[in-house]
Structure 1
Amino acid sequence: MEHFREVSDEANDWGGPAQMSAWEALMWRAETDRRTRSTGMLLETLDSEPDWHRFREAVARTAQRIPRLRDRVVEPSIPVVQPVWSPYAAFDVADHVRRVPISAPGTHRQLLEQCEVEWDRVMDRSKPPWEVILFTGLEDGKAAMGFRCHHSLSDGMGLIQLLRLAHVSGGRTAPAAQHPRRGFTTGGLMVDAARSALNPANALKLTRTGVGTAVHTAANPIESIGSASRYVRSLTRMLQNPEGDVSAVLSTRSSGHRLSTLDIPLHELKAASAAVGGSVNDAFVAAILGGVRRYHELVGEVASERVVVAMPVSLRRENDPLGGNRFAGIRFAAPGAEHDPAVRIHTVREHVLRAREEPAIGFLDQLSPALTRLPTPLIIELSANLTASSDVQISNIRGLTESVSLAGAQVTRTYPLGPRPGVAMMVAMITYGDVCCLGINVDPQCFPDADTFEKALTEGFDEVLALTAEDSR
């Protein structure tokens, strides 16, 4: 029972504090515009179709065990404080679970096309921002589960933590810990903000912090000036747009999307990256770059010498709450026309390691509170311009190492279908056992030839995986 107590505590705390971070608040407010929408889907394929009643009960148990899944977002009438997660008294799991049949023959392509349809559905912002869809009628009696949620609820690593809790011990669950939780209202948030502003203790705390900083600066002037100078230089680098040269293929963007998936053996990607002194992530990014180059070649276009890549870097610490968002974004100009996969891997590694060491890597955490005071239309325009300045967004998440089941059906793959915020292509990867499951979301205006794109991406990975054979010679 000790294991169940630990799992119950983790489930109760998943999602973190009631108040959103400023970064989460920005994503929530920007959701109202299609260009900056950040709702994604986690797609699990199943070896059989689970019983509908048992499936709904499994979702209901998970929602009961994880309080954050029963919370909705409450926003202040004026953005002087961040939105909060508040218990939703009218929560009904039936509002969050649907069954969608796929017409015969029920191919994987048909499943992804239905996911594209679901992508355009806007969730009710007055209710908890998530839903579970059971896709039935797939070939050979198979099925799939789609979990849609807003990014403010969790980042990719937090979703893996959620999956682990949902699938724990083959579906056996510990009783949910019942802790009283405070509810919030729009008016109450404004009252709390006023009280906080007028609270002498808060003013004293700010004063003490300022005095402490001033004393430290006076005692260590050279150190303080040096730290500030390093941070400013780092911030300048982080704010600069990487110098890319956008090709004809990547230049014209639309709001459409086309989804696809790809499976790569994890042990092969590990071996290929190790053969040239890189990591799995380095090899993953290098393979994507190779795929973009190959697409240009196959359609007779000149590939960009420098492709601007955006990717998240996890800032999670061991003692951070489960769920929520703990990441920073980095951008760099990657080699877009390089044929040698080893060179691509080394270049990507240099960029990523350098970015991780930037003192200002978490600058958005400091900048976001000020941005949340801006009018929503301005937030949307700033966000849209920032995200559209990148060509490709790439994310790599370590997934579950063990096989899991859902309502009696075995999970065979887990695909992350991430949002595509203005970039030409979004590629996310989650490992499941020994398989790298890639979820790809492309702009069909940039990549109109779906078959050629999938061929090019496969060849990009073939280039990287071939490094193992070269190393053994």
Structure 2
Amino acid sequence: MKRYWLITSLGRQMKSLSGVDGAFLHLETNETPMHVASLHAFDLPAGYAGDFHADIKRQMRRRLRLAPVLTRKLAPMPLQFANPVWIEDDEIDLDYHVQHLTLPSPGTQAQLEDGVAHMHSQLLDRSRPLWRMAVIDGLQSGQVAYYFKVHHAVLDGQAGVLLSQALFDVTPKPRAIPRGAGPHAAHPEHPGLAELAAAALKHDVGQYIKLVRHLPDVAKTLVGLLGGTGGTGSTPGQANGRLGQNFSFGPKTPLNVPITGERGFAAVSVPLDTLKRLAVVHEAKLNDIVLVLCSGTLRRYLAQHGGIPRKPLIATMPVSLRQAGNTEYRTQATLTLVNLHTQMADPVKRLRAIRDAAGAMKALAQRAKGVIPTDFPSIGVPWVLQGLAALYGRSGIVEAMPPLANVVISNVPGPQVPLYAAGARMTDYWPLSIVEHGIGLNITVMSYAGTMGFGFTTAHVAVPDPRQLSAALLQELADLTARSRPAARTSRTR
């Protein structure tokens, strides 16, 4: 992957944002913050009598240079005529970046979720590196927690897993940080107009050249997709039929409305082995089980809020375009659509239908991933995207048009070994993400150390009580497990 760097006359390195990362900046409004986050619960070591907030701040100070996202800030272009560039910030204010929050008594899980939802509604300060965290105590369980958010312009889900490698340890004893990971030489001067313009032009010229070179590959891939089977082992007619189920508008639901900036959040963890056993029983993938649980959760929720639509709900799902070994901190993903078949009451039949639909879409995305752009020229783009973002929520388009997708569902593979922060063992890893006008619910799932953490990020106007969703998910899991037991016994007798 080619990188576009400019070394300024001041000795400063500037890194251009990709087109996709820039879009997350320009589409951000007060109603639609564009950061992603995670909530972590920890067991303190036996006999611990320290200050966890102070320990975390001390650890962050030592690890700032282990991940570029922690020290980069934006240098905006004059008049925002193109994407800003990343520069190093040599004055990181950890008193700002590492907050301390004590929950009011009794410190329930619901209070924790509500506090995190409030923090998730607040925009990040663009004059600083685009991350912030809050260390949280006062939990009824005796645990401690922290919430960490970072702008989506900085990273995607897979890059978030890379960031966790810098933040956490795999043993209770924190690892030694090499001396070479210390602060860089300071360059406090802001890049000048000429330097910023040169960075924008250099980036865009490179992208135009890249687009022209890739046009033959794009045409060849499109011809193959239109005429092929999509890699599913079926005939072209069957493959196109399965794909056609995904490419349709979803029904209007209470989830698909213009939103405000107020957020809700609910979290639940389930044993990963339980989901894997269900996948084996039904000859499905783990992601298919996640989708059918989300589908059933939505059925249960909508049954109490306006009724289950006859037309199936459509989910939009991120698909990673990251190549093996790629450790760049930027977004490398695209979106695809999957039919959730919510019109089917039987979870087993629904699972089979989702399995086929999701498999066809994944095969399509994999075949096309080599030509899907994650970067593009940016001159003039900020004006266009900022105007569209401001117009979209107020124009009535959301209410007038049927939704292309009803919900965002994302499944991110996470670390499968226990992680530690300042000696405390992480017990739960719950993701938070982005909701938008017309899509007031985002379900992001993260596997961690034998558990699967489901995070329900909601717009309050779309889902007033997100804990109804987490409760519905557990009910759906129990129902699917009960209906799968006869099949499990049959498979063991063969």
Question: 1:47-100: CA deviations, max 9, x gaps?
Answer: 238533222111112213323311101122255543221001322322211101
Q: Tell me which amino acid in the other structure corresponds to 1:466.
A: A
The answer to whether the 8 A contact 2:252-2:403 is kept is no
SS in 2 for 1:126: coil
Residue 404 and residue 426 in structure 1: after superposition, are their counterparts in 2 closer, same or farther (change >3 A)?
same
Residue 382 and residue 173 in structure 1: after superposition, are their counterparts in 2 closer, same or farther (change >3 A)?
farther
* 1:390 equivalenced with 2:391 (yes/no): no
CA–CA distance in 2 between the matches of 1:60 and 1:472? 51
Deviation at 1:104, TM superposition (A): 0.8
The answer to whether the 8 A contact 1:20-1:83 is kept is yes
Q: Which residue number in structure 2 is paired with residue 243 of structure 1?
A: 248
| Deviates most, 182-191 or 316-325 | 182-191
Residue 373 and residue 294 in structure 1: after superposition, are their counterparts in 2 closer, same or farther (change >3 A)?
closer
Residue 54 and residue 147 in structure 1: after superposition, are their counterparts in 2 closer, same or farther (change >3 A)?
same
* 1:333 equivalenced with 2:339 (yes/no): yes
Q: Which residue number in structure 2 is paired with residue 432 of structure 1?
A: 448
| Deviates most, 291-300 or 257-266 | 291-300
The answer to whether the 8 A contact 1:250-1:391 is kept is yes
Question: 1:275-295: CA deviations, max 9, x gaps?
Answer: 111111111011111111122
In structure 1, the gaps of 5 or more residues are: 1-15, 218-222
* Superposition pairs of residues 310-459 of structure 1, within 5 angstroms: 310-358=316-364, 360=368, 363=372, 365=374, 369=378, 372=381, 374-380=383-389, 389-422=404-437, 423-448=439-464, 450=466, 452-459=468-475
Deviation at 1:303, TM superposition (A): 3.1
The answer to whether the 8 A contact 1:106-1:138 is kept is yes
* 1:119 equivalenced with 2:120 (yes/no): yes
Residue 226 and residue 252 in structure 1: after superposition, are their counterparts in 2 closer, same or farther (change >3 A)?
closer
Deviation at 1:363, TM superposition (A): 3.9
SS in 2 for 1:139: coil
CA–CA distance in 2 between the matches of 1:228 and 1:351? 20
TM-score using structure 1 length: 0.82
CA–CA distance in 2 between the matches of 1:436 and 1:138? 22
CA–CA distance in 2 between the matches of 1:388 and 1:87? 40
The answer to whether the 8 A contact 2:272-2:451 is kept is yes
Q: 1:37 aligns with which of 12, 33, 40?
A: 33
Q: Comparing both structures, which one devotes a greater share of its residues to helix?
A: 1
Residue 173 and residue 383 in structure 1: after superposition, are their counterparts in 2 closer, same or farther (change >3 A)?
farther
Q: Which residue number in structure 1 is paired with residue 66 of structure 2?
A: 65
CA–CA distance in 2 between the matches of 1:17 and 1:226? 35
Q: Which residue number in structure 1 is paired with residue 311 of structure 2?
A: 305
| Deviates most, 438-447 or 69-78 | 438-447
The answer to whether the 8 A contact 2:42-2:426 is kept is yes
Deviation at 1:230, TM superposition (A): 4.6
Q: Which residue number in structure 2 is paired with residue 460 of structure 1?
A: 476
CA–CA distance in 2 between the matches of 1:213 and 1:120? 40
SS in 1 for 2:180: coil
The answer to whether the 8 A contact 2:332-2:374 is kept is no
Q: Which residue number in structure 2 is paired with residue 4 of structure 1?
A: none
Residue 98 and residue 294 in structure 1: after superposition, are their counterparts in 2 closer, same or farther (change >3 A)?
same
Deviation at 1:116, TM superposition (A): 1.7
Deviation at 1:395, TM superposition (A): 0.8
Q: Tell me which amino acid in the other structure corresponds to 1:352.
A: A
SS in 1 for 2:323: coil
The answer to whether the 8 A contact 1:247-1:302 is kept is no
Q: 2:21 aligns with which of 1, 21, 24?
A: 24
Residue 52 and residue 299 in structure 1: after superposition, are their counterparts in 2 closer, same or farther (change >3 A)?
closer
CA–CA distance in 1 between the matches of 2:76 and 2:456? 33
SS in 1 for 2:149: strand
CA–CA distance in 1 between the matches of 2:452 and 2:470? 16
In structure 2, the gaps of 5 or more residues are: 1-12, 45-49, 229-239, 490-494
Q: Tell me which amino acid in the other structure corresponds to 2:198.
A: D
The answer to whether the 8 A contact 1:430-1:437 is kept is yes
Q: 2:176 aligns with which of 173, 177, 187?
A: 173
Give the RMSD, CA atoms, in angstroms.
3.7
The answer to whether the 8 A contact 2:316-2:405 is kept is yes
The answer to whether the 8 A contact 2:42-2:425 is kept is yes
CA–CA distance in 2 between the matches of 1:412 and 1:116? 20
| Deviates most, 133-142 or 355-364 | 355-364
> What is the number of residues matched between the two proteins?
443
The answer to whether the 8 A contact 1:286-1:344 is kept is yes
TM-score using structure 2 length: 0.78
* Superposition pairs of residues 247-326 of structure 1, within 5 angstroms: 247-255=252-260, 256-299=262-305, 301-326=307-332
Q: Which residue number in structure 2 is paired with residue 3 of structure 1?
A: none
SS in 1 for 2:447: strand
Residue 356 and residue 89 in structure 1: after superposition, are their counterparts in 2 closer, same or farther (change >3 A)?
same
Q: Which residue number in structure 2 is paired with residue 143 of structure 1?
A: 144
Q: Which residue number in structure 1 is paired with residue 100 of structure 2?
A: 99
CA–CA distance in 2 between the matches of 1:274 and 1:262? 23
Q: Tell me which amino acid in the other structure corresponds to 2:421.
A: L
| Deviates most, 152-161 or 357-366 | 357-366
Q: 1:192 aligns with which of 193, 198, 205?
A: 198
SS in 1 for 2:155: coil
Q: Which residue number in structure 2 is paired with residue 8 of structure 1?
A: none
Residue 239 and residue 333 in structure 1: after superposition, are their counterparts in 2 closer, same or farther (change >3 A)?
closer
Residue 460 and residue 34 in structure 1: after superposition, are their counterparts in 2 closer, same or farther (change >3 A)?
farther
SS in 2 for 1:250: coil
CA–CA distance in 2 between the matches of 1:268 and 1:340? 19
Question: 1:93-122: CA deviations, max 9, x gaps?
Answer: 222111011111111111111112212222
